[in-house]
Amino acid sequence: MEFGSVRETAAMKISAAFPPVPETPDHIVLAEELGYETAWVYDTPALQLDVWMTLALAAIRTERIRLGPGVLIPSLRHRLTTASAIATLVGLVGADRVIVGAGTGFTGRRAMGQKPLRWVDFGGMVTDVQALLRGEIVEVDGRATRMLHWRGQAVERPIEVPWILGVNGPRGLAAAAEMGAGVFTSRPRSDDDYNGIDDVILLGFGTIMDDDESIESPRVMDTAGPGVSVAYHAFLEQRDARLGTLPNAEHFAEITGDMDPATIHLSLHEGHLTQLNAIDRQVLTPESLRIAPFVCHAAEVPERMDRLAAAGITEVSFQPMGDVERELRTFAIAAGV
């Protein structure tokens, strides 16, 4: 894994990320019991269930853990709908337990065959929602829009919650710093500059191997593989030269090169972040798993955390796959939660 600029950091926060599936509220309850800081839930309607309903179900069953979309795709809903959803969650658990992540839509849009949002559009959508939560008027589709919720119909404005943006590159990082937002990343670059950004969250994939287990284990492949395959998917769709650095990349290019461009996204993203699909199983090798930050034994985790902290990461959001309960427990122990 590549790392960004070195800086001094506070103690690493440990959170968990989940796809919104039927069992997710149960898993968030367990994450709270184990001491995880935040439960992030993906906004992936082409792949799983609704992010806000899942968060609400978790909200009524938990008492401490922070909750938020990680990350919200603002183009999927009207700005006022998003503002009302945030207000609903704040009404359930209080503003101190809500955090909102927003992104341009690698999965949320790519899985529907759409390109991620342009920054010029994405940034405006975020600032509009923030303004609505403050009780201000914004223009949407050429008309004045404001939260008209009467007293007792929603928590009173202004509603202030922290924001985390799923951005990469100098422009996105600079914009996040200017907005006072943190950043969410899954593929940090060596030249990423996190100065001026207080919260830098790494979406971390992997599995903590048993003492007698190796990277060649079928369980390790089935558990960590879905997270690793995301890099192949992303680099292919973004035409990123880093695809060529991944193991078996030529075979991946051969398989996908013969697929219909109009429907390739339907096959490429099938099972995304939860299961290995037919393409992934032809491409991934045990060597591929080494690109994940946490395919390792428990004793290796502290040193890996130190490297991430030195690179500017302030929080690791671990997504458990496979046996989710086992993964949550073993990672919590290894990370010292």
The per-residue pLDDT for 152 is: 92
Q: pLDDT band for position 8 (50/70/90)?
A: very low
pLDDT exceeds 50 at position 39: yes
Percent of the chain residues past pLDDT 70, beyond the cut? 96
Q: pLDDT band for position 190 (50/70/90)?
A: low
DSSP 199-229: -EEEEE-EEEE-TT--TT-HHHHHHHHHHHH
Tokens of 109: 């849009």
For residue 49, the Cα-to-chain-centroid distance in whole angstroms is 15
Q: pLDDT band for position 6 (50/70/90)?
A: very low
The per-residue pLDDT for 9 is: 37
Tokens of 132: 């609505």
Calpha distance 216→207 (Å, rounded): 13
Calpha distance 72→70 (Å, rounded): 6
Q: Which has more confidence, 119 or 265?
A: 265
Query: What domains are there in the chain, each with its CATH number?
Result: 13-205+298-329 (3.20.20.30), 218-287 (no CATH)
Range from 34-43, 83-92, 97-106, 317-326 carrying the lowest mean pLDDT: 97-106
Calpha distance 286→271 (Å, rounded): 19
The per-residue pLDDT for 2 is: 41
Q: Is the pTM of this model over 0.85?
A: yes
Range from 137-146, 201-210, 229-238 carrying the lowest mean pLDDT: 229-238
Question: What would the pLDDT profile of 287-310 be if each residue is shown by its tens digit?
Answer: 999 999 999 999 999 999 999 998
Q: pLDDT band for position 123 (50/70/90)?
A: confident
Phi, psi of 77 (to 5 degrees): -145, 155
Q: pLDDT band for position 122 (50/70/90)?
A: confident
3-state SS, 19-35, equals CCCCCHHHHHHHHHHHC
Reported as type and span, the H/E element at residue 14 is: strand 13-18
Among 191, 192, 167, which residue's Cα sits nearest to residue 179? 167
DSSP 315-328: EEEE---SSHHHHH
Q: Which of 159-173, 179-193, 207-221, 268-282 has the highest mean pLDDT?
A: 207-221
Other residues' Cβ atoms within 10 Å of the Cβ of residue 85: 21
Q: Which residues contact 265 (CB under 8 A, 6 or more apart)?
A: 110, 111, 112, 113, 237
The per-residue pLDDT for 224 is: 96
Supply the mean pLDDT for the chain: 91
